[in-house]
Amino acid sequence: MAIANEKGVSNKASHRAASNFLDGIPGFKKSATRSFIHAIYHELIGSWKEINGNNVGAYNERKRANDQWNQTRGKTIRRVLYNESIRSNDQR
C-alpha cells in the first residue's frame, strides 16, 4: 500500500530501517534531535496524505507529529550530548 493511502501512521520498512540505525547511536534515541526529525517526517507525510485526499491518515500523522514535538520540549541537542558524554566518562 502506498504511504498516501495509509489510514494509520506511516511505518514504511525502509524509513523504519533508517530510524532504527540512528537509534543505535548512543544518546540519540531520547534526544531532541530524534524527536525533531520524527516530527518533521510525520508533518510531511501528513501533508502528502492530505494532498491525496486521505484526511484520516493526515490527521493521524499530525497527531503523531504533535506527540514528537511535545517530546522536544525542555531538551536541547547540547544538553543531550553533554549528558551522554558524562555517562561515557563515568563508565571509563
Residue 57 lies in a domain: yes
Q: Where does residue 50 rank: exposed (0-12), middle (13-18), buried (19+ CB within 10 A)?
A: middle
The per-residue pLDDT for 15 is 87
pLDDT of residue 20: 92
Say if 13 falls within a structural domain.
Answer: no
Of 60 and 76, the structure prediction assigns the larger pLDDT to 60
Rounded distance between C-alpha atoms, residue 64 and residue 42, angstroms:
7
Q: Is residue 38 part of a domain?
A: yes
Is residue 48 within 8 Å of residue 4, measured between CB atoms?
yes
Domain that holds residue 45: 27-90
Q: Is 22 contained in some domain?
A: no
- For residues 77-91, one letter each, b for 16 or more C-beta atoms within 10 angstroms of the residue's C-beta and e for the rest, the string is eeebeeebeeeeeee
Does a structural domain hold residue 5? no
Summarize pLDDT for 1-24 with one digit per residue, the tens: 688 999 989 888 888 899 999 899
Q: What is the pTM of this model?
A: 0.74
What domain count does the chain have?
A: 1
